[in-house]
Every structure is written in C-alpha cells, then in structure tokens.
Amino acid sequence: MHCPVPDVCWMNRSTFKPCLWGNLPRKSHPYRASRPRLSIRAYGFPAPNSSHLEAETLMDLSAALRQDPEKPTYHVMPSSGWINDPNGPFYYNGKYHLFYQHIINGCEWDFGIVWGHAVSSDLVHWEHLPPALMPTPGGLDADGCFSGCCIEDADGMPTIMYTGVRLRSNPDCGPLPPQDCDLNLPFIESQLIAIPEPDYNGSADPMLSNWVKSEDPFLAYPPPDMELVGWRDPFIFEFMGKRGEHKEWGMLMGSGIKGKGGAVMIYRSNQLRSGWRYDGMLCEADTVETGAMWECPLLARLPILPEHGRSAHSLLNGFKSLSLNSFNNISAFHSKGHNAVSPTADRKSLSADTNQQVGFSPPKSVTPRIEGFPAPQNEVQKDGSSNPPPGGGNSSNGNEAADRSKSLLSEEILNPYGDENAENTEHNASMRRRPGSKEAGTSSEQEQMSTSGQGSQQQYTHVLCISPDAPTNPVLFWLGNFDPVETRFILNGALGPLKLDLGDTLYAPNLLEDEEGRHILWGWLQERRKVGSYDYAGCLSLPRVMYISGNRLHQEPAPEVNKLRRGECWRSSDIQIFQEESTPLEGVAGPSLDIIFTLERGTATAAGLLLRSWNAGGEGNTAVLYDWERNVLEAVFEGGAGLDLATQTDLDPDAEAQRRVGGPVSLKPGEPLAMRVLIDHSCLEIYLSSGEVLSTRVYRGQQPADSDAGIDFVAFGGTARVEKAEAWEMGSIWQREYIRSSSSYGSVYEPINSVMPVGSPVAV
C-alpha cells in the first residue's frame, strides 16, 4: 500500500536510518506492518517545528477565559474538546508525561476517542503535544483508543499498552473473536502496544511526540468461557515472581462477571510486550453492590506517611511550613462498620448578607445522579438507552439532581453519612476467589502480613482502586496486602470499600511512581452543567501524592503545586466567626486561589467557607463545611435551576433543590482541623489535614469588575475561630495555548457510532 507520509512513515525504509531494533531484517522487524503505520501527521497534525506549526494561531489563554469565566487555568485539560480518563502517566528523561482520553471535535463522549498528550518538567507547568494515539482505519482500534498505561521495559523503552476497540458494525471490523472468547458486546476489545517513533539516529524522541503501533495485539482475546462483561484498561506493575527469584511483570485488567459483580483479572509475563499468561482473578465481588464492571483498576504499594506528619504539633509548629508542606498530621481512619450520625437537631440557616442564605439540613441525596449523565447499570434512561459508555466516558449534558435509588451500588456507598438509626454494618464487600481456586492469605506468612499491628493499627501495604460501572459513581478503594505468590490481593482483613474522593466529579484515576519514589495520582474531574456554548468539557485533578498511614489512605497535593502561587501572600489570624454572620476574606481577589486555614470549633456545629455566586438564575452559593457533630466534610449547594437569588430571600433549608456532596472523615475529637481549598474557576478541590479529599464543580458565573473573591468564613450553630489563614492567587499551568483550526484536527475516518447509544456494553 502506498505510504501517505513518505518522509516519516516506518514503511519508507529508504529514508529511515537504523532504528531502535538494530540490524533486524526488514521482514522480521517487530513493528513492520502490512499496511501503513498510523502517523499523527497523516491525520493533519503538523510535525514539531514544521511550517504547519508556524502557521498556527497562538492564542493567549486569558482571551479564552474572558469568554468563559468557568474554564480552569491550573488543571490539565485540552484547549478544547472532551476529556476523560487520565492514561499512562509516567516519568521519562526528565519529563512528566500525562496522556488522557480526548474527543477532539466535541464536548460529549463518542467513539473515535484518542490519547491526548501533555508534558511537563516540574509536574505543574505543562505543554500540549500532538495526540499520542489515534484510531487506525481498519485496525484493531478503528473505533477508539481506550484507556491503558505507559511504562518503560527492561531496556528503558517507553511502551504504551492500551485497549483498542472496533465496532461490529464497522465494514472494516475484521474477523470476529472465537465464539468461546466473544463477549457479545457492540464492539470488540483488543489489547495493543505502541512505542515511540525513533529519530534518524535510531533514538527515541526525548519529547515522545510520535508513537508507532504494533500490528499485532499482545492479547487478542479474553480467556474463554468466562461470562465476562468487559475486558479493558490494562495496568502494569512489577513484582517479585512466584518463586521470589526475579521480578515479573503483572498486569491488571478491568472486568466483571455476569450476574456476580465486578472483578480484576491478573496476568503475568517475564517480558513486557509478549508472553502474557492469565493467572486468575486478583479479586472479585459476589455482589453487584460494588458495581457490575470494575474499570481502570490500580494496584500500588504505597510508602508510609513521613514522620514529620505524625503529630498535630508538627501541623501547627509554624504556619508557613504548614502551607509549604501541605497537611501531614495523622489520625485514625474510621474502622469497619463506622456509623456516621445523621444530623437531627434543628439548624439555623446562615445569612451571608440580607438577601442570601445558605441552609444547613440533613442530606437528601448525598451523591445525586445528574440528569443527562449515564444511568447506573441496568437503569434505563429517558431515551431508552441504558448504562454508560465504556472507558469511563459519559455524555455530560445535565445539571438537575436525580434519584439514584436504582443504582446497583449499595446505599452505604452512595450515602456515606449512613442513618442515625441504622445498626453497624460490615464495610467490606463480600468478595472471593473464583470457585475451585486456593483461598489467598492462608499461609502463616500471609496471616502475619494481614494481622501485624493489630491492637493498634492494621499494617496495610497496598491500595487497590477501581472505578465501578459509570462516572456517576464514586471511585472505590481497599487497603490491604498483595500476595505475590498467589498473585492475589489479600481480602481477609482488608479495609474497604471506601470512597477515594468525597465529591461528585472524580472518576477513573491513574498514577505513576516518580524518580523520588512518590506515588502521584490524577483523576478525571467531570463537568456538572449542561452542554452549552463552551467548547470544552472536563479536566484532570491536581497531582496528589498518596501515602498509607496505619489503617488509612492519606492524600495531599504534590508540593510542586505551590509553584503556581503568584504575588504576595494574604495572611490573617485569630478570626472570630459568629453564628448568622459571614466574615469576608478581605483583600483576597481572583478566580484562581489557594486558601489554607486551621479551624477551632468553639460552640459551632459546623464551619468553613462560603463561596458566593454571581450567577443569577443558576445554582446559588456553595458552602464548604466541616461538621464536628457528624465528623463529615461536605459541599452544600444552595438553590438550583430557576432560583434567582436577587428575588429569593426566604430559602427553605430542607428544600429538595439544595444539593450536597461529601462524607465522613477521620479526624479525632478535639484534634485541630486544617483545610486547604484550591479554587480554579469552576474546579474545587478540598484537602483535609486528616488526608481526605473532596472534589466538585462550582459554577459561580462572571465575577464583577473590581470585586473581591466572594469568599467568606461561616459558622453554624454557634461560634468558631480561624487560628491562622493564608491565601494566594494561582497562575496558569500553560505558558501559551495553541488553538488549531478545525481542519487540522480533521480525521480521515468517521467512526460508526449509530448503533451504540449512550450506554454501557455491560450485559448483566
């Protein structure tokens, strides 16, 4: 076949110098193809430093923000289009690389999804590169490059391993799987590989701008006769082999078993790109209460929280050091069967000013499904379709809260507050190995691993994280131990499932281990508004550093985030917050802020920040609150569609329009509370000193000229005191933004998607 790009394609050997594979004969080249390899440039993306790049329009980010005040500036996202799962973050040659699922010409999920690509030298200042992967017409990923990972092989070669999909309705779909391996989904999943395109010296491009795919999958089909509901999202890790003599590669695969629930499959190999052998289930559920399909599985051995964070004293020994080091104090996580008490006492609503109030009332639906988002498994939507698209996608075009009672996830997960009259319940989902297999954790050494430290704290070493069913559901994790001999996650004594994030926007996280041994996680932060005039949808979270502290997971912003602080620091101390009064953060301005403060309770039942809204007719003020009585962190959203704060002065605190998200935290009674609130236009990430995080979206509208930040300290049920507070304006992570014309993003192939409505392929 004629090569469309003769100067760069692997097919044109006459202009290509010795490659990474040395002097192999042409026919035995491992990535030699019978048809042209996909080249980004063949799809309209200019080569770096080409004349095409010089012709691009360079657009100042501030100009785009003047058009949309809700668009984040210090969260990774494409300049336009849809984004979902972060893929394959890794550190290579002095650079952080972050890939992500991306729809270029639309703001809703669709087939034909590509791998966007951004690169950074310091973890916080990023540069866009051309997409790393795009669908190959007629290939195994003709209708989408779904999620996966990127890792260096034993020789230091960066390798992308991902799930490619092709629709059965595609005329060029190719042969169907064998009947015993066919999952009977509307599309066929294959596990594929890509490596960096070498330069003319045979070395990998240091920026990894262009990638070359293998013609053959490293796994063509799932194991036979397993009644799986999906088979995607590979995640690679290294571990000491079963004999303990040398390292092996392990690979997790997201899946589920029809009628039983979610599952994580595990494969093993001595070589990264070949020789993979199915080794059973890492773990599986025997109930759908934790989801029918477990997407984007992660497994990592996390470091212990450093000693400098092991006391409340270290938290308060100098506020400047606190702000530079984030939050690192230790407290006990709630144990299995933790029962957060629901509020029963009457609470007065807080008046932010004479015309604005925030009600504080018992939760109605803690994590409501948003109208227009995909329904949970088996839930039929208004258009007759059911379930979310695969790969963590959804179609974000709604903003009204809806009942989630039809979700397969248990009410304990969907409503983390619990019920004040409920008896203690078991937190761990009932999970087990496949029938006929040896139960993990039976040897004396394994028992010692899972029980060491009892009487004080469990000594967990690993975190297992899954994304169940749909982006409307919370990401779940377990703390426990991985058994390298049985290649199982030891569930006997594991703590979970628990919510990775207490908010309503994070889904499908991914992580890397950097050169310092830190485990850094990103997640997809979804929109929570209808598709409208804006030309983007979604972003990624800030990088989080993950630790294990006894029997709890501790998350904190990467210290590099502090590099985004701009200008002088606003400081204050000993701020008294009175009931039914708001205390503005005078002198703090701007839509992108980093606010850090410590709270003392006084007589209040709850206290925190009020974010005032300038968006008349939309969702009103938002309060970020810690409730001492219930030990709960939450965001309370006032109002909703049709509520005009200019005329509404008597809000019902129990009104159904009031939305709230949050959950229980691990703060001990009497322990100092420190809170870090990172505001990036509509993105809100809240980190507690006890290690929990809440992420959500707050659409406040256009900030009036010469206005302050519209942020106040507030208290309910009594008085509270802010011991110390600091705030900074935050700069953009982008030096500049390349805005390409739509023609340069044009694809030569239009994926066939008419047969696949918005809905999951899971068939339970």
Q: Give 595-650 pLDDT, tens digit per residue.
A: 999 999 999 999 999 999 987 655 678 999 999 999 999 999 986 544 432 333 33
Indicate if the pLDDT at residue 394 is higher than 90. Answer: no
Known catalytic residue at 353: no
Highest mean predicted confidence (pLDDT) among 386-390, 431-435, 441-445, 595-599: 595-599
Residues 352-373 have a mean pLDDT of: 29
Q: What is the pLDDT of residue 412?
A: 57
Q: Which distant-in-sequence residues (6+ apart) come within 8 Å of 305 by Cβ?
A: 328, 330, 547, 548, 549, 554
Q: What is the pLDDT of residue 754?
A: 28
Q: What is the pLDDT of residue 177?
A: 96
Mean pLDDT for all residues in the chain:
73
Q: What is the pLDDT of residue 246?
A: 74
Q: CA distances (Å), 421 to each of 43, 344, 417, 609, 613, in order?
A: 60, 11, 12, 30, 36
376 or 202: which leads in pLDDT? 202
Task: Tell me the pLDDT band of 502, cut-offs 50, 70 and 90.
Answer: very high
Task: Tell me the pLDDT band of 24, cut-offs 50, 70 and 90.
Answer: very low
Indicate if the pLDDT at residue 332 is higher than 60. Answer: no
Q: What is the pLDDT of residue 410?
A: 57
Q: What is the pLDDT of residue 670?
A: 81
Indicate if the pLDDT at residue 652 is higher than 80. Answer: no
Q: Which distant-in-sequence residues (6+ apart) come within 8 Å of 219 by Cβ?
A: 190, 191, 267, 276
Task: Tell me the pLDDT band of 175, cut-offs 50, 70 and 90.
Answer: very high
Indicate if the pLDDT at residue 408 is higher than 90. Answer: no
Task: Tell me the pLDDT band of 286, cut-offs 50, 70 and 90.
Answer: confident
Q: What is the pLDDT of residue 421?
A: 32
Give φ, ψ of 381 to 5 degrees: -85, 175
Task: Tell me the pLDDT band of 247, cut-offs 50, 70 and 90.
Answer: confident
What token pair was written down for 331? Answer: 């407290």
Residues 733-742 have a mean pLDDT of: 56
Angle at 324 (CA atoms; ends 666, 636), nearest 5 degrees: 45
Indicate if the pLDDT at residue 387 is higher than 60. Answer: no
Q: What is the pLDDT of residue 282?
A: 97
Which of 152-161, 308-317, 691-700 comes out lowest in average pLDDT? 308-317
Angle at 582 (CA atoms; ends 581, 584), nearest 5 degrees: 150
Q: What is the pTM of this model?
A: 0.76
Indicate if the pLDDT at residue 296 is higher than 60. Answer: yes
The answer to whether the CB of 297 falls within 8 A of the CB of 235 is yes
Indicate if the pLDDT at residue 241 is higher than 70. Answer: yes
Q: What is the pLDDT of residue 617?
A: 57
Q: CA distances (Å), 135 to each of 131, 149, 601, in order?
A: 11, 17, 55
Indicate if the pLDDT at residue 744 is higher than 60. Answer: no
- Percent of the chain whose pLDDT exceeds 90: 55
Closest listed residue to residue 465, CA positions, set 452, 475, 456, 480 = 475
Residue of 7, 60, 85, 180 with catalytic role:
85
Q: What is the pLDDT of residue 415?
A: 54
Distance from C-alpha of 713 to C-alpha of 389, rounded to nearest angstrom: 41
Q: What is the pLDDT of residue 57?
A: 32
Closest listed residue to residue 611, CA positions, set 683, 539, 531 = 683
In the block, tokens 């169940």 appear at 468
Which of 137-146, 238-247, 304-313, 467-476 comes out lowest in average pLDDT? 304-313
Q: CA distances (Å), 171 to each of 99, 166, 347, in order?
A: 29, 10, 62
